[in-house]
Structure 1
């Protein structure tokens, strides 16, 4: 299975997400059965996007961009895994942009546990400065890593237009496979575009890509679907 995951970050609102879905539907990309396309939206976009997706012929899966490390309780403003369980089947955790807001490897491990308790697949973002620490924390929490997806996202490549070379990515992915001792899918994210996506997918160790701003343009995202299908 190959994965194409879109991270819309905080760029969209409810109206824009529905326009995107409509435009993608007009382009009518044929998605291979071996390609899983996941759209990770802001929380506020999820209910309406899901409702309209049910009437769409485009086979997409829906994900969130983060989740609370707490369960239900007195946590004003937090979105828990139990809330997300009615809306998504995937969720990003540990993105570097979340870490810059103070999230720790311990927080991420708690988020992963919460998601797995509600049958939501975590997509765990990693970068080399904290990779070893994060994986050790996941093991410390006795998390079944085979139920997770990993995404290697070097901070230097995010939004820079300068992706890492496919060969360098493959070496890091091999290290993640060794550290996790699992057959979990491992993706690459960081300035992925139609011009370079096949360089990454042609590496046997890389199971897919995580795409940021280029996923916001239906025409560009459609190109990525066609190249990976």
Structure 2
């Protein structure tokens, strides 16, 4: 049985005090959410403060990105994966569409970050997904397959036990447009099939695949009802504790 994951990506929002206040407001609201893993990804500068205040709670911390290098050194401006772990993170988002679009991250770069994250003992959340132009051109599955194969290159069977994939249709991120539950399920099922083909059937059954793209309290239950959707990577709706808590505590029927 795959345990669902509800993760909130705060992106470049909130100073340290705001981050701590939001985390502390969220803590009692999701304290009884034993049905899923709850994760928040604050900005780098707030990770340590938030992690310290949430110690002992059921809320885990993720970094929003990490450096591709495994060793410390002359990499100005980068944050190593083991530095994130040292600050209190146990997960890291890798290959988010905004990194791919705005910072020209390639599958090769993302693959290096996956290896670095795993080497540091973090659980990477690998983000994949097509743009609107790619979907309309009928190549969405080809794009997603390439991102899976590129991002997971040379990872071992043991490594694959410690990853999460997040499908983010780029055309639905921050636009208010959301893939229907059926559209999301179709791609999630495809991702699981590709994973089975590339690795093995049993590993694909254990793989957790999250949906990301304008997830809100009013659409989470429909998404989670789909057989291959194992959770959500939430953007804007995770910035307010009460709203995010409503997503975490979705109606499970």
TM range, smaller chain: over 0.9
Query: Corresponding residue for 1:166?
Result: 181
- Does 2:10 align with 1:8? yes
CA contact (8 A) 1:125 1:151 kept: yes
Query: SS of the counterpart of 1:200?
Result: helix
Query: Corresponding residue for 2:201?
Result: none
Distance 1:218 1:32 in 2: 14
Root-mean-square deviation over aligned CA pairs:
1.6
Query: SS of the counterpart of 1:140?
Result: coil
Deviates more, 1:137-146 or 1:212-221: 137-146
Structure 1 residue 162 displacement after superposition: 1.2
- Does 2:63 align with 1:64? yes
Query: SS of the counterpart of 1:193?
Result: coil
CA contact (8 A) 1:145 1:180 kept: no
Query: SS of the counterpart of 1:227?
Result: coil
Deviates more, 1:9-18 or 1:142-151: 142-151
Structure 1 residue 222 displacement after superposition: 1.7
Query: Corresponding residue for 2:94?
Result: 93
- The 5-angstrom pairing of residues 113-192 of structure 1 reads 113-128=115-130, 130-143=143-156, 144-181=159-196, 182=204, 183-192=206-215
Q: Structure 1: any 5+ residue segments left out of the alignment?
A: none
TM-score scaled by length of structure 1? 0.93
Structure 1 residue 59 displacement after superposition: 1.5
1:195 to 197, 212, 218: 218
CA contact (8 A) 1:29 1:226 kept: yes
